[in-house]
Amino acid sequence: MSEFEDKQGNDLKQQEAKGFNLGGALGISSGTEALEPVEKAKNFGGTVKRLIVYLKPQIVLLIMMIVLAAIGAWFLIWVPDIMKKVTNALVESLQFFTDISAEGNNRLYTYIAPVLWTCAALYVLNALFQFASGLIAATMSQRVVRRMRIDVKDKLDKVALVYFDATPTGDILSRVTNDIEMVSITLQESINQIITGVMTVIGVFVMMLRIDWLLSLIALVSLPLLLIASRIIIKYSQVEFAKQQKRIGELNGHIEEMYTGHAVIKLYNREEDSIKTYKVINSQLKSATRKSQFLAGIILPTIKFINNLAYVGICVSGGFRAGQGIITIGDIQALLQYTRNFAQPIEQISNIANTIQTAMAAAERVFEMFDLEEMTSEAGLESNVSEITGAINIEHLAFSYDKTKKLITDMNLQVKAGESIAIVGPTGAGKTTLVNLLMRFYDIDEGVIYIDGVNFQDYTRDALRGLYGMVLQDTWLFNGTVAENIAYGMKDASREDIVLAAQKAYAHSFIETMENGYDTVLNEDASNISQGQKQLLTIARAILKNPKIIILDEATSSVDTRTEKYIQSAMLAMMEGRTSFVIAHRLSTIKSAAIILVMNHGDVVEQGNHESLMAKRGFYYELYQSQFAGINTNAPAGEIKFEQT
């Protein structure tokens, strides 16, 4: 385990806040949006400019989407103005006792029916144009996010490993998946809705003014009241919905924790305490849910109440003006319909503003990854390592994860080709850091590392890492067959090579007992095999690669004592003639090593074989004694402390 992991936090900060969705609060949302306070971008303008760069290649699609959405909105706007003619015709029929039947003057077929068919056609055209604009928006957004995901992938390939150590995995995944998806949803839905909404508001207002300016003003008066009322309610409901989501998270976390550790809970008879905690969180969730649902529930009645006031005002005022002959009954009906159409897009645009703010915050988090410092260029570096024998010379090496706190200050080491080196020391001594530097997972601060007399920075990273075979204490296997996992480092390996590597790692016998042998599929995290079997497969993987330099980080820690002896024999055979570094926590496993490096505080403090180091009675001697005696001999008198080994 890397010493740098001690510096990592345990909290995975999920910055996926989404804006309050009015439709979701009213129970008419099509999604499951998290109702949390809106997270705003720190540099909104700068983020928009960078996002426009991604939109430029899609400018044709963007223009097409705008034109189609605008035309579709205008089709819908014309309908009330046409429908008023039907209303006026019916009113005249009743007022002047005009026969509109087929047997009469045939007005139903010659006048009203064509108007109705025209309205139906406009509705169909609106649906078709909106569908087409939505399809174009979806295509455009997917092209944009596809380019963005490719750029993120390319960027992460060039970022130093220190970024992944310092950044929680959950945060990286959130940026690559959730944040980019939020940008996609906004491009696909919000822009289309904004264009439609703006065109609708402009068109409706123009049509209302054409009919009657006074009644238009009455309709406009209701809009500020509508916005003020909804904003006040949303402001308070956002707080309660945030509490609700927080309590849901706490409840889910508690349930998962209790079920995961149910055996321990039963062992210590803590069931009642667990239930009490559950009831407390559930009670808090109930309270937050009641308040949030109440506030969300009064939004729709409030909106309807204000709209109804506007309707009443238009009806009463319109009645007087119709009586004076200024407008017709059809005009009143059209104005009422326009009033409804006028309020709806404004409310939608108000809600979309939250979504856009959240999307810009998400885009900003993605663009922050593009600003990460990249590894140095490898142009012109050597990629042929076939002649390397594995001699390593380290001169005045200095390195630290945190520049304010030195780890390795001045390391010097010479390793001959084919020599086996054991590395021991307490936690945080720099053991794993040393091998990480050898593989250029990190760039050194000072000094130089030579491989066969050549500065290892003169080789490409891929070529350099091709020299190494590595077996870690923490195994990593992927969802695939056993054979595919063993051949992970050698794509062109034959089945015979795979079987031979498994036999050398003493894994062949248990593989043969599996249902499908080497074709058995390992599930996620390889949970269908034991930890010891996982370790055997990773050892077989390293053997198959046939590397020039071998690194073993407590490779046998997860197997039983009998299997460990077989593995050690296999490791000795594999290390023969190859340079190898063995990181050991159990000193009994490296007693026979030719050279033992004793590290402490990032430096090599002692060097030699087991017998010579024990004879010195120095740091290695104290480490060995404390491990096997289990007693800290440096503890103050009267205070005995047992070491964790």
Q: Tokens 């699609």 identify what position? A: 61
Residue 169 CA to chain centroid, in angstroms? 9
* 140 in Cβ contact with 58 (< 8 Å): yes
Instruction: Please give the sequence-ordered ranges of beta strands (E in DSSP) within 76-205, or none if there are none.
Output: none
| 113-158 helix and 329-370 helix, angle to the nearest 10 degrees | 10
Contact (Cβ atoms closer than 8 angstroms) between residue 437 and residue 401: no
**CB of 478 within 8 A of CB of 486?**
no
Express each pLDDT in 216-274 by its tens digit: 787 777 777 777 877 777 777 767 776 776 777 778 778 877 877 777 888 788 888 88
**Exposed / middle / buried, residue 206 (Cβ in 10 Å: 0-12, 13-18, 19+):** exposed
pLDDT at 4 over 50: no
For 159, which DSSP code? B
Give the pair of three-digit tokens for residue 422.
């054991």
Q: Return the pLDDT at 33.
A: 39
Predicted structure pTM score: 0.63
What sign has the CA pseudo-torsion 70, 72, 78, 80?
Answer: negative
pLDDT tier at 128, thresholds 50, 70, 90: very high
Q: What is the C-alpha R_g of the chain? A: 36
Burial (CB < 10 A; 0-12, 13-18, 19+), residue 360, is buried
- Give residue 125's pLDDT band: very low, low, confident or very high (50, 70, 90): very high
| Integer angstrom CA distances of residue 416 from 9, 375, 380, 465, 594 | 40, 29, 28, 19, 12
Q: Rounded to an integer, what distance in angstroms lies between the CA atom of residue 581 and that of residue 594?
A: 11
Tell me what percent of the chain is helix, strand and coil, each rounded to the nearest 5: 65, 10, 25
Query: Which is it for strands 595-600 and 420-424: parallel, antiparallel or unpaired?
Result: parallel
Q: How large is the greatest C-alpha to C-alpha distance in the chain, in angstroms?
A: 124
Distance CA(108)–CA(98), nearest Å, equals: 11
What does the pLDDT average to over 163-189?
80
Provide the pairing of β-strand 446-451 with 392-399.
antiparallel
| Structure tokens given for 110 | 């010659």
For the chain, give the number of residues. 645
- Give tens-digit pLDDT for 51-108: 888 888 888 988 898 889 888 888 888 888 888 877 777 777 665 555 555 555 555 5
> Whole-angstrom Cα distance, residue 77 to residue 119?
11
Which amino acid is present at 269? Answer: N
Q: How confident is the model at residue 454 (pLDDT cuts 50, 70, 90)?
A: confident
On the question of pLDDT at 581 being above 70, the answer is yes
- In this prediction, residue 377 has a pLDDT band, given cuts at 50, 70 and 90, of confident
When the pLDDT of each residue in the chain is averaged and rounded to a whole number, the result is: 76
Distance CA 359, CA 34 (A): 14
For the stretch 284-301, pLDDT in tens is 888 888 877 787 677 767
- Per-position b or e across 130-166, b if 16+ CB within 10 A of its CB: bebbbebbbebbebbbeebbeebeeeeeeebbeeebe
Whole-number pLDDT of residue 199: 83
Both tokens of 193, joined, read 């809705």
**Residue 334 tokens, joined:** 């059209």
Q: Tell how strand 468-471 and strand 420-424 pair up.
A: unpaired
Block residue for tokens 């956002």: 238
Which range has the top average pLDDT, 11-15, 257-261, 378-382, 454-458?
Answer: 454-458
| DSSP category for residue 397 | E
If residue 567 lies in a helix (H) or strand (E), which one and from where to where? helix 561-575
**Residue 19 predicted with pLDDT over 50:** no
